[in-house]
Amino acid sequence: MQIFIDSADIDDIKDAAAMGLVDGVTTNPSLIAKSGRTLEEVINDIVEIVDGPISAEVISTDCDGMLEEGRKLAKIHENIVVKVPLIAEGLKAVQIFTKEGIRTNVTLCFSPTQAMLAAKAGATYISPFLGRVDDISGEGMELLEQIITIYRNYDMTTQVLAASIRHPLHVVQAALLGSDVATLPHKVIHQLLKHPLTDRGLEQFLADAKKSG
């Protein structure tokens, strides 16, 4: 399973990339706003750090507006993947982007039927929001499993990108289900490393080394 970092914080991206853990990056308008910088500034920095897919989101809600924004984003760098909301106008744009050779990440997916339609429109990635489904007493992992099963049943080529991941268990479950990608906040990436037995074992090794030194 590929790991993307869900962030627009350049320091966090550098940190994760330095560990060799980052296959790509996802951003959204909220993350860009939090960074206090423009989208183009952030993207130009990211491409210097990560050589992989970088999702940048359009903010228009009509097809023509999405096409105009998406084409501009795609020109910034060859690694750009245009992030499009899962609405009717978005699927119209996805179909055109696909014909033009522009990769897309269809976001804000909350049902298997939405995912099926996005795949039929030609989406490169589908982003089901697992944590947000859990937030309303749904089963985010059940949604992920349904999407993966449908895609496999019909050999759909759209990659499943597990999003809105809140903790390491989400990552384990997504990997066991066979998700193509999981996009993780910087905090969760570091949580994946943590285990009390590792800390205890290292402490014991270092103590023993001092004794023998």
Catalytic residues: 83
Residue 167: CA atoms inside 13 Å, Cβ hemisphere, count?
Answer: 5
* Composition of the chain by helix, strand, coil, percent to 5: 55, 20, 30
Q: Give the number of residues written for the chain.
A: 213
Which secondary-structure segment (H or E) carries 123? none
List helix spans (H) across 100-167: 112-121, 130-135, 140-153
CA distances from 145 to 2, 112, 127, 140 (A): 17, 9, 13, 9
Q: What's phi and psi for 183, nearest 5 deg? A: -105, 125
Is residue 84 within 8 Å of 58, Cβ to Cβ? yes
Burial of 95 (0-12, 13-18, 19+ CB in 10 A): middle
Angle ∠(84,24,193) on CA atoms, nearest 5: 125
